Structure 1
Amino acid sequence: MAPWTPFPHAGDYRFDAASVRQQWSRLHAGDAEPCPQDAAVLQAWALFHNGEFEQATAAGLSAGGPGITVANKATAIYANYLEPREKTRLDLFMQVAVRAEAQAAQEPGNASAWYWHAYGLGRYSQGISVAKALAQGLSSKVRNALEKAVDLSPRHADARIALGTFHAEVIDKVGALIGGMTYGVKKEKGLQLFREALRIHPGSAIGLIEYANALVMLEGDPKMQEATQLYEKAAAIEPLDARERLDVEMARIELQED
């Protein structure tokens, strides 16, 4: 595989294992990931927070155990924001889904394993189209994994965001009636999940962005102004690490295009 596209702001973030540990609760307010004791895993996280996603993936896989979570997050975030080739993006998302599924099988109580399995499958589904994913039965796997993550980790804001997005996208594609009858999705449940996530992690740029997108999908033009305000709030956040920088810049680009 070709080398990964570098994070465009290399050097702006300079975490090491000690500073990651010191700022852990803020850095991981979205995923509620327990702070690891293994120095090699902490170093892999430092690489991730610095935007060295390829190196973080390699270091996480090498460390094993909780390092698999670092590898999955680094791969997924890289594929989502920086990989320009569609086939490679989809391959990377499927790698995450497969690794996380194996991790969840070994550690059924690991909320992050269920979350990254759902994230990988969910982004893969978006890539092939939500309609095709529904036809292939991927939707139930995504939903079940996200619900498992929320049950296992009540403060996992990112899992709530992803589950809210799932409700919104299914309704957007098949309508509220079929979505509710066939896939068990509901508009109010989806919006509630976003509100819960933002209560847990009010500074989540990706939470604000996905909530804005869901409002437009579910409510249409009447919610455009509120959606724009959510994007503006996301764009005004001061990012703490590379992943947050990518989220905030996405919001800023969206506002410029509007």
Structure 2
Amino acid sequence: MAKWTLFPYPHRYQYDSANLVAQWQHLHLGDQEPLPSDPSVLAAWALFHNGHFEQAMQVGLAAGAVGSTVANVATITYARYLEKRERNRQDLLIEAAERALVQTQNEPGNANAWYCHGYALQHYSQGISVARALAQGVGNKVKQSLERAMTLAPAHADARIALGAFHAEVIDKVGPLIGGMTYGAKKDTALRMFHEALQLQPESALGRIEYANALIMLEGEARIDEATMLYEQAARTTALDAAQYLAAETAQTELATEDWGATASLLPPSEH
């Protein structure tokens, strides 16, 4: 396995198993992950929140089935924000999706098993081109898994963000008619997902970034001012952990680029 790129700010967050418990509800407002009872899994989550993604993945996998979610979240987060080599990124996302699929089979009531499956496949699709992924049937898998996560965890804001992005991207790539008839993608659903997500998790930088991207894809220049405002809000977000910090930094970087609105898309932020 190729060596993972380190989180650039390794000492910025100092969670351990003790102080993580106190912050758990705030840190997991978006994914509704229950506080783990297994000490090794809690330790893996502390590594994740501190930005030690490879170690979090390794410790999570070593814990067995109970560590699957933290291992997958760490892998997907790393692949999305820090892995610059496209082949490695795709391999990591497929590995996470495959592990999550097994988890859905063993734990069909685990919302984040379904979320990780859909989320990993969503970003894998962006790497191979959305049109190609749709032709391979990946799109329906993404949609079904994210919807299942929301059914199991009605307050799952992150699943709504991912599902809103899915609807917007499908419409952008294949048009509203084919997107609606073939994949059930709808503009109104995309926008509703983002509205609901930001009500559930008002401080989500990722939610604002994806919402802004979706507005540009769905309505173009007419919504550029609103999209810019969302990016500015995301850039000012107070990040509680490494993943949130990387999302806010993505917004800062995007705003610093010339004519960002013309090129904004739902590609992984690290590739913008």
TM-score range with shorter-chain normalisation? over 0.9
Displacement after TM superposition at 1:238 (Å): 1.2
Q: 1:153 — aligned with what?
A: 153
User: Following the alignment from structure 1 to structure 2, what is the Cα–Cα distance between the partners of residues 45 and 181?
Assistant: 40
TM (normalized to structure 2)? 0.94
List alignment gaps of at least 5 residues for structure 1.
Answer: none
Q: 2:3 — aligned with what?
A: 3
User: Following the alignment from structure 1 to structure 2, what is the Cα–Cα distance between the partners of residues 240 and 190?
Assistant: 27
TM (normalized to structure 1)? 0.99
- After the TM superposition, which residues 75-114 of structure 1 pair with which residues of structure 2 at under 5 Å, given as runs? 75-114=75-114
Q: 1:129 — aligned with what?
A: 129
Displacement after TM superposition at 1:65 (Å): 2.7
The code of the aligned residue for 1:244 comes to: Q
Displacement after TM superposition at 1:2 (Å): 2.1
Displacement after TM superposition at 1:177 (Å): 1.0
Q: 1:44 — aligned with what?
A: 44
Displacement after TM superposition at 1:112 (Å): 0.2
The code of the aligned residue for 2:23 comes to: Q
The total of aligned residue pairs comes to 258
Task: Give CA-to-partner distance per residue, 1:104-133, whole Å, 9 cap, x none.
Answer: 000000000000001111111110000000
Q: 1:239 — aligned with what?
A: 239
Q: 1:230 — aligned with what?
A: 230
Q: Say yes or no: does 1:169 pair with 2:169.
A: yes
Q: 2:265 — aligned with what?
A: none
Report the identity percentage. 60
Task: Give CA-to-partner distance per residue, 1:127-170, whole Å, 9 cap, x none.
Answer: 00000001111101110001000100001100000000000000
Q: 1:249 — aligned with what?
A: 249
Q: 2:28 — aligned with what?
A: 28
User: Following the alignment from structure 1 to structure 2, what is the Cα–Cα distance between the partners of residues 140 and 2?
Assistant: 31
The code of the aligned residue for 1:50 comes to: N
Task: Give CA-to-partner distance per residue, 1:87-116, whole Å, 9 cap, x none.
Answer: 000000000000000000000000000000
Q: 1:58 — aligned with what?
A: 58
Displacement after TM superposition at 1:196 (Å): 0.3
Q: 1:207 — aligned with what?
A: 207
User: Following the alignment from structure 1 to structure 2, what is the Cα–Cα distance between the partners of residues 162 and 238?
Assistant: 21
Tell me how large the CA RMSD over aligned residues is.
0.6
User: Following the alignment from structure 2 to structure 1, what is the Cα–Cα distance between the partners of residues 79 and 183?
Assistant: 27
User: Following the alignment from structure 2 to structure 1, what is the Cα–Cα distance between the partners of residues 173 and 227?
Assistant: 20
The code of the aligned residue for 2:192 comes to: Q
List alignment gaps of at least 5 residues for structure 2.
Answer: 261-272
Displacement after TM superposition at 1:66 (Å): 2.6
User: Following the alignment from structure 1 to structure 2, what is the Cα–Cα distance between the partners of residues 168 and 23?
Assistant: 33
Partner SS state of residue 23, structure 1: helix
User: Following the alignment from structure 1 to structure 2, what is the Cα–Cα distance between the partners of residues 171 and 125?
Assistant: 15
User: Following the alignment from structure 1 to structure 2, what is the Cα–Cα distance between the partners of residues 177 and 107?
Assistant: 36
